[in-house]
Amino acid sequence: MTAVQGTAVDIPTGDGTADAYLAHPADGAAHPAVLLFMDAFGLRPQLRSMADRLAAEGYAVLVPNVFHRHGRAPLFDLPEFIDPGARPEIFGRIGPAMRELTNERAMRDAGAYLRWLAESPAVADGPVAVTGYCMGARLSLLTAGTYPDRVAAAAGFHGGQLATDTPDSPHLVAGEVTAELYFGHANQDHSLPEEQIERLEQALTAAGVRHRCEVYAGAPHGFTQADTAAYHQEGDERHWSALLDLLKRTF
């Protein structure tokens, strides 16, 4: 297995400094970049572990704390095993940070992350791939539409609110996307009802976007996160297979 180097890094943005985690093969070479957008629980050991796994496959992986305006990670006092059903107050703390991360702020930050990757000696020249989880799937789609010249592939898993009827819905950027997209939806997910799944599919198809959207049977919202009660091993393994296939096609 490829040895991996992981380090904490700071990224200057238009609204302060974003703390982040960078993982890459420990071989001194430059590798294709993957920008990994966190779920609502934030930058924590689980996401660092996921970044390390991707890095071991030959990628330079950046995981920014997208809630950096509220402080450095960890922002929330989370248990090692997260069960929101047993700790409903968790979302009382996370909700305000999520609501304050508007599309405009998130995409201003995404530009800073992409610039930082372009300047990093650990990163090979060329476009990047993006993947995101939960709220990060929304950021992944928005980034692909906002920076089409920089994003060659984008994925999202158990994303919520991807195709709403609001004027800032992520699916409305479909016409700007040039990347190949993949979405793995949870079929037990109140944050992405069937009508939104259909609306997203229709928007991507109408825009001529290369894409595949799949619904993972039996998978709940958050199924990739092994440190939560939502973890679904079969869905997680399917996610890794789909993501790695997308990256291999891209790079």
pLDDT digits 0-9 by tens, 122-135: 999 999 999 999 99
Q: 């679904």: which residue's tokens?
A: 232
Which DSSP state fits 43? S
Contact 55, 101 (CB under 8 A): no
Residue 4's DSSP bridge partners are 25
Quick one: pLDDT at residue 89?
80
Does the pLDDT at position 85 exceed 90? no
Instruction: Report the alpha-carbon distance of residue 35 to residue 20 in Å, rounded.
Output: 11
> Residue 86: is its pLDDT beyond 70?
no
β-pairing, 4-13 with 16-25? antiparallel
What residues pair up with 133 in beta bridges, in sequence order? 157
What digits encode the pLDDT tens for the residues 152-173? 999 999 999 999 999 999 999 9
CA dihedral sign of residues 88, 238, 156, 18 = positive
User: Nearest to residue 61, comparing CAs of 36, 44, 40?
Assistant: 36
Give me the long-range contacts of 100-105 (CB less than 8 A, separation at least 24).
100/69, 100/70, 101/66, 101/67, 101/69, 101/135, 102/168, 103/142, 103/168, 103/170, 105/15, 105/69
Look at residue 178 and tell me whether its pLDDT is greater than 70: yes
Bridge-partner residues for 13, per DSSP?
16
Cα separation, 98 vs 91, whole angstroms: 10
Cis peptide before 127 (omega within 30 of 0): no
CB atoms within 10 A of CB 193: 13
Rounded to an integer, the average pLDDT of 98-127 is: 97
**pLDDT average, residue stretch 180-206:** 97
> Residue 93: pLDDT above 90?
no
Q: Work out the number of other CB atoms within 10 angstroms of the CB of residue 61.
A: 30
Give yes or no for residue 1 having a pLDDT over 80: no
For 3-60, the pLDDT digits (tens) are 999 999 999 999 999 999 999 999 999 999 999 999 999 999 999 999 999 999 999 9
Q: How far apart (Å, rounded) are the C-alpha atoms in residues 151 and 179?
A: 6
Chain center to CA of 73: 16
Q: How many CB atoms lie within 10 A of CB 201?
A: 16
Is the pTM here over 0.85, yes or no? yes
CATH class label, 4-250: alpha beta
Percent of the chain with pLDDT over 90: 92
pLDDT greater at residue 87 or residue 31 = 31
